[in-house]
Amino acid sequence: MESASAMVLTGGNGQRFRFDAGTLCLEFLLSGAVNPWERLHAPADLAEWIAVSRLGVDGPARADADELVAAKRLRGAILSLAMEAVKDDAPGFKVAGVAEVRIDADPPEPHTVLNELAAAPPPVPVMGADRVREWAYPVTGSQFLSAAARDAIELFSGDRVERVRMCGGERCYLLFLDTSRPGARRWCSMDRCGNRQKLRTRRKIMK
């Protein structure tokens, strides 16, 4: 599945693959919600994330220390809601594995985190004489978090929540929104877990 909004990720074995999370809020989990490799260490890392996100930011972005703290709260809230959405489909050991990785001792209620951050103004779209959509720059951390929180509210309060999936790969915890028409997407990426599964099935048949 090739998509302009896919991100290039590197797996534990060093394999690089393209992954499309399908929506802004789930994509934001890639900044370190489940993966032990935290990517947001300093405010500048959040600014960098904003620039590579599927928001399509083609100009300056900036973030401060408070926004970095808020970003991690938002990520935790999105992860809780996503895990709630997949818990009936994903194997129990996977759900437990993700819960273990979370280090928030006393996480706030996810919906209150979303509501609080969504209340701030989102990025402002602007259009030039060339009819190209841009954002009013710089895009700030709180604008980005507002957009991601609004996206999460839309996703987790609507029918599309049924399309939130965890990759079917054995030790893969990637979460995505299945935007395919038939709703049959099972893998983070065909190049990675999809192919592994194909090989496994083939080996089983040959035995």
Binding site for Zn ion (CB under 5 A): 167, 169, 172, 188, 193
CB of 39 to Zn ion, least distance (A): 18
Alpha-carbon gap, residue 157 to 40, rounded angstroms: 27
Provide, rounded to whole angstroms, the least separation between the CB of residue 60 and Zn ion: 33
**For Zn ion, which is the closer residue by CB, 12 or 121?**
12
Name which of 6 and 51 has its Cβ closer to Zn ion: 6
Nearer to Zn ion, 96 or 129 (CB): 96
- For Zn ion, the closer of residues 18 and 72 by Cβ is 18
Q: In the complex, what is the shortest distance from the CB of residue 25 to Zn ion, in angstroms, rounded to a whole number?
A: 19
Instruction: Give the integer Cα–Cα distance in Å for 24 and 202.
Output: 35
DSSP output for 62-123: E--HHHHHHHHHHHHHHHHHHHHHHTTTS-HHHHHHHHHH---SSPPPHHHHHHHHHTS--P
Q: How far apart are the first and last CA of the chain?
A: 30
Collapsing DSSP states into helix, strand and coil, what is residue 191? helix
Minimum distance from residue 21 beta carbon to Zn ion (Å): 12
CB nearer to Zn ion: pick between 33 and 188:
188
Nearest distance from residue 15's CB to Zn ion, in Å? Answer: 11
DSSP label of 124: P
